[in-house]
Amino acid sequence: MQRDDLSEVREFADRLRDSLPTSVDVAALGVRSKAPMKLLCAREALIWRTEELSRNACDAIERNDFAVAAILCRAITESSALAWRLMEALDDREKHSASEFDAILMRLLMGSRLWEDFPEAFNVLTCIDRVDKQIPGIRASYDSLCEFAHPNWRGVFGLYSDTDYTKMVTTFGRGMRGAEQTKKMLINSVLGSLGVFEYAYNRISDIMPTFIGELDGIWSNDEDQSALE
C-alpha cells in the first residue's frame, strides 16, 4: 500500500531517537568472547547513523529539498542493508568458525575501502541485493533514489525546472515538476528502509540471549575460540 504521510516517517525517527543507546557494557554481557561486543557496537553505531539520517530526511522532504532528501533516503537504505547483513551473520553463526564469524563482524564494524590496514568493507549493493531476495522492491527503490542522488536528468534538470513548450520558456525552482509524486516516492522509500532496519535491529535483540548462552559450546575448537578473546 502506498504511504504518503510524512508524520509516519517522523514517528519512526522519534522511535529511533528514543531508542538511542549510550554505551555497550562488555562486563554486563558476562562472556569472555568479544563477538557480542563487536556485534552490538556495530548495531548501535548504525542506529545512531540511521536516526540522524531519518530525522534530517524528514526536514528535507518537508522543505521540498528533494535532492538532499533522496541522498539521505539512499543512505538510510544502505544503513538498513548493513543492519540486515549483521542480522544474517548472527542467524548463520553456526555455519562459521569463530575466526570466520569474527572476520564478518570486523568487516561490518571497521570495514573501509580507503585504508589497507582496515578490513575490507562489504559491498553495499551486494548487501541491498541480499535484502531484496527476502523483501522484493528494496533494490528498485534504491535505484530510483540514485537517479535523484546523481546529477542525472531526474536529479538536475528534471528536478529543478519546468518548461512551457508553447512559449518555449523554462522556469526554475523547487518542486517544479511532479513534486507530489516525488514526495510520495521518497516517503515510501524511507518507510520501507526504516522498516527493514527496525526488523533487523529488533531481531538481533531477540537472538542475543541465545547467542550469548551458546558461546561456550558453539565453537569447540580452541584456536577458533581464541580469535574472539
* CA–CA gap between residue 225 and residue 220 (Å, rounded): 7
Query: Would you state the pLDDT for residue 218?
Result: 52
Reported as a single tens digit per residue, the pLDDT across 141-153 is 999 999 998 999 9
- What is 25-42 written as a DSSP string? -HHHH--S-SHHHHHHHH
Each domain of the chain, given as residue ranges in start order, spans 33-149+185-222
- 3-state class (DSSP) for residue 169: strand
Reported as a single tens digit per residue, the pLDDT across 1-56 is 345 589 999 999 999 999 999 999 888 888 888 899 999 999 999 999 999 999 99
Query: Would you state the pLDDT for residue 227?
Result: 38
* CA–CA gap between residue 28 and residue 24 (Å, rounded): 9
Confidence tier at 224 by pLDDT (50, 70, 90): very low
| C-alpha grid cell, residue 150 | 546523481
| C-alpha grid cell, residue 24 | 555497550
Phi-psi region of 173 (alpha: psi -120 to 50; beta: other; left: phi over 0): left
Reported as a single tens digit per residue, the pLDDT across 189-211 is 999 999 999 999 999 999 999 99
Query: Would you state the pLDDT for residue 215?
Result: 81
